[in-house]
Structure 1
């Protein structure tokens, strides 16, 4: 992959993932990816797992996250870590935005 150092906001398009969830891929390279994720109130990100490490930072809104056997209610300023292959998902309690960081990058998001 050719290294790209700047990702202007205007070039990053919102992708409608359906059900009240949209996402915008920001900066990424082979080893890391930053994704802005927008949720409408009531949107559910179904339980799933993937081989990537993931950190989620809550920019705005309120969410209930299930990570493994634990459940967390999170809001602006909170963050979560999800190790590879752990089952996780979320329900949006109040419309908001998350910032997800993946390592390595999510090929399926490009």
Structure 2
């Protein structure tokens, strides 16, 4: 237990810590009704995602690993050919290059995507947020 909460530094901080208010992150839309608000750390990205009703994130693949965590609402999520309804508290683990996509019908959905390394297609937008 004490090892998990150690206060002995075994290295040097690579950057200062900071706080971010998600609502202050400028949203980017690649698909109408699908808003991304990426927050960038040194080696990891958390992307706060909002789906409007009847919105589709098309099937796609990417090099980055992804963990999707549903906060509220629901959506249909397809992961490597398996489709299921995900709701608050549900998590999908998506290895590199595994096909996945999602869609809402008559509901909205808020979720977080965690990427490691940071998702290449969101990097420029996320870096601009860090400069604010």
TM-score (norm 1): 0.88
Q: Which residue of 1 aligns with 2:108?
A: 95
Summarize the Cα distance change of 1:11–1:19 in structure 2 as closer, same or farther, 3 Å threshold.
closer
Contact 2:48 2:112 in 1 (8 A): yes
Divergent runs of 4+, >2 A = 2-5
More strand by share: 1
Q: Which residue of 1 aligns with 2:91?
A: 79
Summarize the Cα distance change of 1:100–1:4 in structure 2 as closer, same or farther, 3 Å threshold.
farther
Map 1:17-96; keep pairs closer than 5 Å: 17-29=30-42, 31-93=43-105, 94-96=107-109
More helix by share: 2
Q: Name the stretch that deviates more: 8-17 or 74-83.
A: 8-17
Computing the radius of gyration from Cα coordinates, the structure with the larger value is 2
Count of matched residue pairs: 108
Q: Which digits, 9 at most, give the CA deviation of each residue in 1:43-64, with x for residues without a partner?
A: 0000000011100000111111
Cα distance in 1 for partners of 2:90, 2:52 equals: 18
Contact 1:7 1:26 in 2 (8 A): no
Q: Which digits, 9 at most, give the CA deviation of each residue in 1:57-107, with x for residues without a partner?
A: 001111111100211111111111001000100011310211000000013
Contact 1:36 1:97 in 2 (8 A): yes
